[in-house]
């Protein structure tokens, strides 16, 4: 069977930053002589002190050390804001679209500079110094971007905690980082409801002890400010000077700490630094989305995730782009909202997650077709493997069969895209993240021997052979955990924790987490493939597959299936789905148990938490592990009550 393949159109290729030939040339240069390649591309930033050293990295266990541009000095805020003032001061930097349709705001680079400089002075007036940690617990409002950039301006390290997290999760992160300041808002409107951010901050500070706060009045609601501890944003901004010289930072000074999603365990505090991070974030933003001056670019992620850091704020603004920030949800007030926003602001590049695509696909084509999406030039996806079914819908219905899709594989740890097609250069295959970005050297390792599989076609553990500029430098406060998590299992490589397959064309397919690989009667299988087969059935909206101990086969295949709205579960349908998967993949993939799941446990960023599903499938739900990043904990109770494997 050959996979369908979609070559770039000649028209896209002709105008793109890279066509096939240029990609090949640049990729070869980037791996043959990384020093020279990154010396050249480091120049995309403005440096206060130019670097003379480019790469100083070793993956040698246990002496792992990663430094890029180590004697260079720069300021990230200057690169994202100040340097654009002369050429594009009046250009819109941020388009903000509010939760309620109709509300929006356009912030020029000039205005951005003013707001960020004032806020940086407010930080200073509150005692924040270079190297201090600032926790941001914000809704999706322009002030969130100001708050990040103001940290960068004075050399403070931000740690964003997603606004959906509980007071407990927030408290542990404030305490963990010994934050000097917490920036928040009274409330955050989302999908027509107000999230009580300040209320949660109050509750968190009850747990971890008082910290100075700065509170943006977004709705005028919430519990009010506590004398001496909480400060009103507007009041302090009104008196702040718009003149704040930027701190000169070393390339290796930390820019931010960010916790991973927690899909596989306790979240890790990932540390990113200033120079290398911004080189990769801006370069990938330009090439992956084929961003050109004047384009309107929209990434729907929350700033609380790495995607929001690299691809709403730092990458786009470093490139002088117009970046859209959306406060709301895909389906409020109705299922057309994403597409209405695309139409309204004539969005050229649109970047979202498979979970959003699947949920919108389940609502049909009508909400999409109501809107004029003719400005779209690139569609992107990130966060999980995208099922070919969802890819095809995105391609045909949203992209009208013409708009290239970039399936970007990367991680909080990698800071920027690692594998992705480039719109004018790389033919796409639905479900494949295709080829590595410049400088990225993926390898497929044999999980048992740890040796590189050198044949073109390969399946195993995905690892990376050499460093890239935006690689994480350490786990905050726990360097040993960094070294042991990523460099101990396979010596000499960065271990991604993901499994993958490389096909005959050298394309990479992420098969899921290594922990999730099934071994059924001696056959190793990724869960992604079985899930994709299930989702391809017309009655299935979403599916998650895990293994459970099976007396005969070693592991059995346990499927959680969410049906489309209006479809009744039945034993006949179970039989039909089992046969369907057998036909699509083969008898070895035949599901043993199928549980109807009204909802699946997901992280707040929309990823399915398979480790919880595995526990339920194993009939061992007493120890679910860290569930603090679950979006809807109630979902789990239903799954336990209706579990299929009762010991």
| Stretch of residues binding ligand ATP (CB under 6 A), selected from 216-224, 310-318, 401-409, 558-566 | 401-409
Binding of residue 408 to ligand ATP (CB under 6 A): yes
Tell whether residue 582 is among the known ligand binding residues: yes
Binding of residue 472 to ligand ATP (CB under 6 A): no
202 binds, among ligand ATP, Mg ion, none (CB under 5 to 8 A by kind): none
Binding of residue 409 to ligand ATP (CB under 6 A): yes
How far the first Cα of the chain sits from its last, in Å, is 40
- The encoded tokens of residue 597 equal 């799941």
Please name the residues in contact with 105: beta carbons below 8 A apart, sequence gap of 6 or more: 95, 96, 98, 142
Q: Which residue has the tokens 């369907």?
A: 580
**Cα angle 55, 61, 62; round to 5:** 100
Binding mask 255-284 for ligand ATP (x = CB under 6 A): -----xxxxxx-x-----------------
One residue of 247, 407, 459, 531 binding ligand ATP per CB under 6 A:
407
Of 23 and 494, the one with the shorter C-beta distance to ligand ATP is 494
The interface with ligand ATP within residues 415-434 (CB under 6 A) comprises 433
| Stretch of residues binding ligand ATP (CB under 6 A), selected from 279-287, 339-347, 381-389, 639-647 | 381-389
| Stretch of residues binding ligand ATP (CB under 6 A), selected from 55-63, 276-284, 490-498, 613-621 | 490-498
- The encoded tokens of residue 340 equal 């209405």
- Min dist. Cβ of residue 414 to ligand ATP (A): 8
Count of residues interacting with ligand ATP (CB under 6 A): 24
Tell whether residue 307 is among the known ligand binding residues: yes
Binding of residue 607 to ligand ATP (CB under 6 A): yes
Residues 475 and 268 sit within 8 Å (Cβ to Cβ): yes
One residue of 72, 167, 320, 385 binding ligand ATP per CB under 6 A:
385
Residue 632, exposed/middle/buried by CB under 10 A (0-12, 13-18, 19+)? exposed
Of 410 and 487, the one with the shorter C-beta distance to ligand ATP is 410
Residues 274 and 76 sit within 8 Å (Cβ to Cβ): yes
- Min dist. Cβ of residue 433 to ligand ATP (A): 5
Residues 386 and 434 sit within 8 Å (Cβ to Cβ): no
- The encoded tokens of residue 109 equal 């680079």
Tell whether residue 498 is among the known ligand binding residues: yes
Please name the residues in contact with 315: beta carbons below 8 A apart, sequence gap of 6 or more: 281, 282, 284, 285, 286, 416
DSSP 124-174: HHTT--TT-EEEEE--SSHHHHHHHHHHHHHT-EEEE--TTS-HHHHHHHH
Picking from 134, 133, 138, the residue whose alpha carbon sits closest to that of residue 197 is 138
Picking from 131, 416, 157, 478, the residue whose alpha carbon sits closest to that of residue 276 is 416
Tell whether residue 481 is among the known ligand binding residues: no
Of 263 and 286, the one with the shorter C-beta distance to ligand ATP is 263
Provide the binding-site residues for ligand ATP, judged by CB under 6 A: 260-265, 267, 382-385, 407-412, 433, 496-498, 510, 513, 607
Bind-site residues: 190-193, 307, 383-385, 407-412, 498, 513, 521, 524, 535, 537, 540, 582
Interface ranges with Mg ion (CB under 5 A): 260
Cite the annotated binding site for Mg(2+) by residue number.
535, 537, 540
């Amino acid at each position: 069977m050959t996979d369908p393949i979609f070559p770039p159109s000649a028209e896209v290729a002709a105008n793109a930053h890279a066509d096939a030939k240029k990609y090949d040339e640049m990729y070869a240069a980037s791996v043959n002589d990384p020093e020279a390649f990154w010396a050249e591309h480091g120049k995309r930033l403005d440096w206060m002190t130019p670097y003379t050293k480019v790469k100083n990295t070793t993956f040698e266990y246990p002496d792992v050390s990663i430094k890029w541009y180590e004697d260079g000095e720069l300021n990230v805020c200057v690169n994202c804001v100040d340097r654009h003032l002369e050429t594009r001061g009046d250009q819109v930097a941020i388009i903000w679209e509010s939760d309620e349709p109709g509300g929006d705001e356009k912030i020029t680079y000039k205005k951005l500079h003013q707001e960020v400089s004032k806020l940086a002075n407010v930080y200073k007036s509150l005692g924040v110094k270079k190297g201090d940690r600032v926790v941001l617990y914000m809704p999706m409002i322009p002030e969130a971007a100001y708050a990040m950039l103001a940290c960068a301006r004075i050399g403070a390290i931000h740690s964003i905690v997603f606004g959906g997290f509980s007071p407990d999760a927030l408290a542990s992160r404030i305490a963990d980082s010994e934050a000097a300041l917490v920036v928040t808002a009274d409330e955050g409107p989302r999908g027509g409801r107000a999230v009580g951010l300040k209320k949660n901050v109050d509750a968190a500070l009850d747990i971890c002890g008082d910290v100075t706060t700065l509170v943006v009045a977004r709705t005028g609601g919430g519990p009010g400010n506590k004398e001496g501890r909480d400060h009103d944003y507007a009041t302090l901004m009104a008196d702040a000077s718009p003149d704040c010289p930027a701190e000169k930072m070393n390339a290796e000074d930390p820019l931010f700490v960010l916790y991973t999603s927690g899909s596989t365990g306790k979240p890790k505090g990932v540390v990113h630094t200033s120079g290398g991070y911004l080189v990769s974030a801006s370069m990938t933003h330009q090439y992956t989305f084929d961003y050109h001056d004047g384009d309107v670019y929209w990434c729907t992620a929350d700033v609380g995730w790495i995607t929001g850091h690299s691809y709403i704020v730092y990458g786009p603004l470093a490139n002088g782009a117009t970046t859209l920030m959306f406060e709301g949800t895909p389906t409020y007030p109705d299922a057309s909202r994403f597409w209405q926003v695309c139409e309204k602001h004539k969005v050229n590049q649109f970047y979202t997650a498979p979970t959003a695509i699947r949920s919108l696909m389940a609502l049909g084509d009508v909400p999409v077709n109501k809107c004029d999406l003719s400005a779209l030039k690139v569609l992107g996806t990130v966060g999980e493997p995208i099922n070919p079914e969802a890819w095809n819908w995105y391609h045909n219905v949203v992209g009208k069969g013409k708009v290239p899709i970039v399936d970007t594989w990367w991680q909080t740890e990698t800071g920027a895209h690692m594998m992705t097609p480039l719109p004018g250069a790389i033919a796409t295959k639905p479900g494949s993240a295709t080829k590595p970005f410049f400088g990225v050297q993926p390898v497929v390792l044999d999980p048992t021997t740890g040796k590189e599989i050198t044949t073109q076609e390969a399946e195993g553990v995905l690892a990376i052979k050499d460093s890239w500029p935006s690689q994480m430098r350490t786990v905050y406060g726990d360097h040993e955990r960094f070294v042991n998590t990523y460099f101990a299992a396979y010596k000499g490589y960065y271990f991604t924790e993901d499994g993958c397959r490389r096909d005959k064309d050298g394309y990479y397919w992420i098969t899921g987490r290594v922990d999730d690989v099934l071994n059924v009667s001696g056959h190793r299988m990724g869960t992604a493939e079985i899930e994709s087969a299930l989702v391809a059935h017309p009655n299935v909206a979403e599916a998650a597959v895990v293994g459970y101990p099976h007396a005969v086969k070693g592991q059995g295949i346990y499927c959680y299936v969410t049906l489309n709205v209006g479809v009744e579960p039945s034993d006949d349908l179970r039989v039909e789905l089992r046969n369907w998967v057998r036909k699509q993949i083969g008898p070895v993939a035949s599901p043993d148990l199928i549980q109807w799941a009204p909802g699946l446990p997901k992280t707040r960023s929309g990823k399915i938490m398979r480790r919880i599903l595995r526990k339920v499938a194993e009939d061992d739900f007493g120890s679910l592990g860290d569930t603090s990043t679950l979006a809807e904990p109630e979902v789990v109770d239903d799954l336990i009550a209706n579990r299929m494997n009762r010991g």
